[in-house]
Amino acid sequence: MEKKYKLFINGVWVDSEDGSSIDVINPATGEKITEVSQASQNQVNAAVDAAREAFDRGPWSRMAPAERSNLLLKVAERIENKLQEYATIESMISGKTIKQSSNYDMPYIVDNIRYMAGTARNFEGKALKEYVPEGASTIRRDPIGVVAAITPWNYPLMEVIWRAIAAISVGNTVVVKPASLTPVTTLMLASDLEAVGLPKGVFNVIVGPGSSVGEQLAKNKKVDMIAFTGSTEVGKRLMELGSSTLKKVSLELGGKAPFIVFDDADVEAAVQGAVVGGLVNNGEDCANSTRYYIHENIYSKFLDALLRELRKVKIGNPLDETVDMGPLISESHRERVESYIRKGIEEGGKLTYGGKRPLSKGFYLEPTVIETDNNSSVIVQEEIFGPVWTVLKFKDYDEVIEKANDVIYGLGASVWTKDITRAIRATRDLSFATVWINEHVPVPSEMPWPSYKQSGSGSSLSTYGLEEYTYVKHVYFDISGATRKSWYYQVYGQK
Ligand code: NAD
């Protein structure tokens, strides 16, 4: 890792104008590992101006899709060749385990980019056709313009791929503002994009606090679209900020996924899935399974097996290949998560497992299980964004679907059953944008990652995810050749 990282504006690496910088802390030790220049107001505007100029006058938006695609394929290859370096740094800045970043996040990111590079060459739509007798219509898919991509700390590089690489793959230009806690791999990506010859101004990175740098970026009148991944609260603020110039706003926000186990399920499989669904990314994943609804006939069997498996979870240095769970992102975030544990107990929940700090150094927290029968309690309703899971008992289908749907979020949900009819009914009845049956987590690049309710709007991945960054334009050709068309009498004159 470098000692200090600069900002990337208009194809040039620049220091902060006023000398200010942001420390990057290793959550496994609490110690500073590097620092990054912080963008000034002028630099935020300069990055937007660069993206505007590159979109309006540069070659990028008009380039043949194949040319853009080939460049992105080269970037995918560079990341693949440096996969271990990317994975290690990503784990050091975010606390996610090296097992996950090198076997899942980074190979997945490479696949995401290759998928986007291929799909951006394959837009489909309505055929050129005479939908009325005197004219032929078709549609175009045009890039939107300058996209502000504002991303979170939990998947530092992946979210930049899903937002910024998706945007540029179809001809937009971007200004990326990564989370201040985890900007390093975004800047490494900028360096690899530069190395493969991305035209200047197409991909810019500015770093700084959301409340100043993020807001200024989102408000800038030259930005056409805000692509945001983060909390529901900030998503609402960005909708407000975008409204002054009616920017397109695409939001991937919080979640509170239910994990529903019926009494005919393979309980051992459900338990394995429950540990993985809850633990992936140290419990800091928007789609983590967090509300376990277990049928009363198998409740004790499931809970005993879940606790048995949780005792096997190895917590420690995320760079150790044998470790299952690293630290949370920061001291303040751990305190926030712990406050939810206290709240859960105050509300009458039973702390059945975990809740303690297992190591004296770093921001570690044990996976925590709270049993409750109160679906309205704060720990069941609010996104905790840490490894704190509630377990609730249910009797029948209608009851559990109602309880599962009774949250403001609608991102992911899973159902564990061998009954195909019930599984299909549940995919209809659950108000969540992704429903897994007998699984919880996988999303192939070809499938969308959309949102219901207050989990956001729009989609990432798949063709839907790329269409998100385009306008639909109707193009109409007169084919009558007539000076006066037959229908004009409807407006003036006679037939
Ligand atoms: P956050 O909302 O605090 O911050 C996200 C980004 O927004 C950061 O870059 C931050 O600096 C910036 N920001 C904060 N306030 C801002 C403002 N007023 N104006 C402009 N930018 C601002 O979220 P976080 O803590 O970084 O990430 C965790 C959240 O992200 C969780 O809620 C999680 O569910 C969500 N998330 C959702 C998805 C999804 O696919 N739906 C994926 C990953 C994370």
* pLDDT digits 0-9 by tens, 51-101: 999 999 989 999 999 999 999 999 999 999 999 999 999 999 999 999 999
For 246, how many CA atoms within 13 A lie in the half-sphere containing its CB? 0
Task: For residue 125, name the pLDDT band (cuts at 50, 70, 90).
Answer: confident
CA atoms of 464 and 450, how far apart (whole Å): 9
Nearest atom of ligand 1 to the alpha carbon of 180: 11
* Ligand 1: centre distance to CA 231 (Å): 4
Per the CB < 8 A criterion, the answer to whether 409 and 254 are in contact is: yes
CA atoms of 171 and 362, how far apart (whole Å): 42
Mind listing the pLDDT tens digit for each residue in 206-229? 999 999 999 999 999 999 999 999
Say which amino acid occupies 199. P
CA atoms of 295 and 304, how far apart (whole Å): 14
CA atoms of 31 and 16, how far apart (whole Å): 23
Q: What is the pLDDT of residue 377?
A: 98
* Ligand 1: centre distance to CA 150 (Å): 8
Q: What is the pLDDT of residue 45?
A: 98
Say which amino acid occupies 164. A
Q: How far is CA 332 from the centre of its chain?
A: 22
Q: Give, for ligand 1, the residue of 22, 48, 96, 154 to mutate: max count of ligand atoms closer than 8 Å to Cβ.
A: 154
Q: Give, for ligand 1, the residue of 36, 184, 229, 240 to mutate: max count of ligand atoms closer than 8 Å to Cβ.
A: 229
Stretch 1-9: mean pLDDT: 96
**Atom 37 of ligand 1, residue of closest alpha carbon:** 253
Task: For residue 355, name the pLDDT band (cuts at 50, 70, 90).
Answer: very high
Alpha-carbon separation of residue 46 from 43, 258, 350 (angstroms): 5, 44, 53
Pocket lined around ligand 1, Cβ cut-off 6 Å: 150-155, 159, 177, 179-180, 210-211, 214-215, 218, 229-231, 234, 237-238, 252-255, 286, 383, 385, 411, 455-456
Token pair, residue 246, equals: 């009616």
Is the pLDDT assigned to residue 319 strictly greater than 90?
Answer: yes
* Ligand 1: centre distance to CA 202 (Å): 23
Mind listing the pLDDT tens digit for each residue in 428-484? 999 999 999 999 999 999 999 999 999 999 999 999 999 999 999 999 999 999 999
Say which amino acid occupies 176. V
Q: What is the pLDDT of residue 74?
A: 98
Mind listing the pLDDT tens digit for each residue in 444-457? 999 999 999 999 99
In DSSP terms, 204 is beta-bridged to 175
* Ligand 1: centre distance to CA 157 (Å): 14
CA atoms of 126 and 129, how far apart (whole Å): 8
Q: What is the pLDDT of residue 149?
A: 99
pLDDT averaged over the chain? 98
Token pair, residue 292, equals: 């376990």
Active site residue 286: yes
Token pair, residue 473, equals: 């334009």
Q: Is the dihedral of CA 21, 25, 30, 31 positive or negative?
A: negative
Q: What is the pLDDT of residue 124?
A: 87
Is the pLDDT assigned to residue 145 strictly greater than 90?
Answer: yes
Stretch 318-324: mean pLDDT: 98
